[in-house]
A and B are shown apart, each in its own frame.
Chain A
């Protein structure tokens, strides 16, 4: 449930759905996100520039020449979005992952810290039904959960200067995929050859907030011969 609306400067508002990071809270955020997007498309509200869902908040940015925060807040307060169901477009996506030690950069640390062997770790990762809480930081970069408690780990004490694109990392109950070569502190357990982000495609990101993800294990040979569409 929408608990609180606050201003973020003069051209943004934060819609707060509570403190808990759970799928239920996040689904509320994503439902509300769909509602604002649909209202924008149907021209029921003007001047909306960006909507950014995260675990428990939706940030809405608007064009101050077209709408003021009080008008937007009023629109939200008088709208009934309680009956909205998550749109059907939220889909299940299978993502190939190669756990070969060449790519699973932190597998040794993982084995030590979780006291599980390599096979148990990958088995646990593969059987998880991941939920995409949000996309961001950099383009196309998903934050997914929830991992089994057995795999909970903290961030690396010293982040890597460069994590290769396609690396799959875990921290606490979350799993992410690096969509660009970038610095990072997540524990890397494998690599996907699937290109999650391509700005030149009509829909640049394969994943959207609210989607489900299942990983599928592939061999190094399959990874190397993988062709993106």
Chain B
């Protein structure tokens, strides 16, 4: 007997993701993977999965799903406004960041993420997904990964592995970091920008525009003056790189970035601040703070410590 949900509404950008696909960037294949790694881990921990199990990632508006099989234990991680609708159409507001069971004929309506961008739906036992090059992560642009490399589509089914017994109640108090300062290190072409622009980049605020997706985040603010060249010899790209094309407006490259590119990079977001950055919604004004490698590395230690504390808090 197969266990599945029916997709009654796919949502804006709902894809299956895990940690991503590595070792293939020299062939043009970007790692992809979940945007908010710590939230991804928490989502799995809440339903008793291994933390790297594939989950359903959604942005802004998520899917409307109906359970067609007997039962499922799920969790919705993030700041998410969602409802559980029973067989008679009775609507109950859902609570995120805790596990709960749903039963045949019930619907999960993920209405929106609140003051954030990404949320995760995890299921105890995991979704039934095909791995492509050791990862289920979906890269829509190149049609790679589970669900034939596509976003969720209306009328499709989502299959999952049935668990043997339900987990005990698990929950976590969870808050996103509301601070809008993003720490960065100098980019490879930092010296391409005028002294004034080098200063302005850290002094002024940059607004996240609507032209933001899993590939990149376009910002708007003080124009950055390139005094050398707005084209470089194309070189490999790393997640979190901040490139500045000829128009002087920065673009932060995110998890589905192109693998190589020819725009100069003024800075790189440190790993510890990446999850926080991707959850900032369009319209948010962010500012950048320059740090060196040792600060970035100790910030990452703190990030891991906080993540492990959260994971342990769920386990207890």
Contacts and interface: CB of A to CB of B under 8 A. Distances in A.
Interface of A: 6-12, 14, 19, 21, 33, 49-59, 61, 64-65, 68-70, 134-141, 143, 179-180, 197, 199-200, 204-205, 208-209
Q: What class of interface size applies to chain B in its complex with A? A: 35 or more
A139 B260 contact: no
Contacts of B268: 8-9, 12
28 contacts: A8-B241, A9-B185, A9-B271, A11-B238, A12-B268, A14-B236, A21-B233, A49-B23, A49-B31, A50-B25, A53-B236, A55-B234, A57-B235, A61-B25, A64-B297, A64-B300, A68-B297, A70-B293, A135-B28, A136-B26, A136-B258, A138-B28, A138-B259, A139-B29, A143-B234, A199-B133, A199-B143, A204-B29
Chain A contact residues: over half helix, strand or loop, or mixed?
loop
Given A14-B188, A68-B297, A69-B293, A205 B271 contact: no
Nearest to B299: A10
Given A21-B233, A49-B22, A136-B260, A205 B28 contact: yes
A49, A64, A141, most chain B CB atoms within 10 A: A64
Contacts of B184: 9
B185 A137 contact: no
A14 B235 CA distance: 9
A7 B259 contact: no
Contacts of A141: 28
Nearest to B233: A55
Contacts of A197: 27-28
Contacts of A61: 25, 238
A208 B27 contact: yes
Contacts of B238: 8-9, 11-12, 59, 61
B144 interface: yes
A50 B293 contact: no
A138 B258 contact: yes
A6 B141 contact: no
Given A56-B235, A136-B258, A200-B132, 4 more contacts: A50-B25, A54-B233, A197-B27, A205-B27
B181 to A, nearest CB: 16
A71 to B, nearest CB: 11
B188 A54 contact: no
Given A49-B23, A57-B235, A139 B144 contact: yes
B269 interface: yes
Interface string B213-243: 0000000000000000000011111101100
Contacts of A139: 27-29, 142, 144
Contact of B258 (A65, A137, A200): A137
A153 B32 CA distance: 34
B211 to A, nearest CB: 15
Given A54-B236, A143-B234, A200-B132, A11 B26 contact: no
